[in-house]
Amino acid sequence: MICCICKVEEIKGMGNNPEPVKSMTGRFGNRCCDFCNYSVVLPARMASASAEIADKAESVAKELEKVTNQRDNLVAMVRNVLADFVEIIKVEKQSLAVQDSERHQGWLEAMSCAVSTIETNFEHCYEKINKEND
């Protein structure tokens, strides 16, 4: 049998599967010689495998970007909620300062303290998560 790729080499024994360069389903079953196998067929298989890997890597990168954007949006939402909370506390504090109520004042101090603790912890945890992901 003659090699289906170079059409020169006489194949001794079983020969090699020529896919993806040539279909195996020729008239008598296509086979290729060792030289064509190593110089043409195997590089073609590696190229198609690398293209597949590159495609997969690209889709993983896209997914990662999506997740990263979602995370950034969530972080921005949490920061906005905290900022709104701080603003509400400030406004309440001002209006109650006018009424000069010590009981309310104490409660507002506690709330301010809680908010700044939440903010500090949030930024601390966020930094920690970012470091772990690097």
CA atoms within 13 A on the CB side of 121: 7
Determine if 9 is a binding residue for Zn ion (CB under 5 A): yes
By CB under 5 A, how many residues form the interface with Zn ion? 6
- DSSP letters along the chain, please? -B-TTTS-SBPPTT-B--TTTS-S-SSS---B-HHHIIIIIHHHHHHHHHHHHHHHHHHHHHHHHHHHHHHHHHHHHHHHHHHHHHHHHHHHHHHHHHHT-HHHHHHHHHHHHHHHHHHHHHHHHHHHHHHHH-
Name the residue nearer to Zn ion (CB basis): 6 or 67: 6
Shortest distance, CB of residue 38 to Zn ion, whole angstroms? Answer: 10
Within positions 32 to 71, which residues make up the interface with Zn ion, using CB under 5 A? 33, 36
Minimum CB–partner distance for residue 39 and Zn ion (Å): 8
Stretch that binds Zn ion, among 28-36, 45-53, 58-66, 117-125 (CB under 5 A): 28-36
Please say which residue, 3 or 108, places its beta carbon nearer to Zn ion: 3
Q: Which is nearer to Zn ion, 9 or 119 (CB)?
A: 9
**Residue 6 or 91 with smaller CB distance to Zn ion:** 6
Q: Which residues sit at the interface with Zn ion, rule CB under 5 A?
A: 3, 5-6, 9, 33, 36
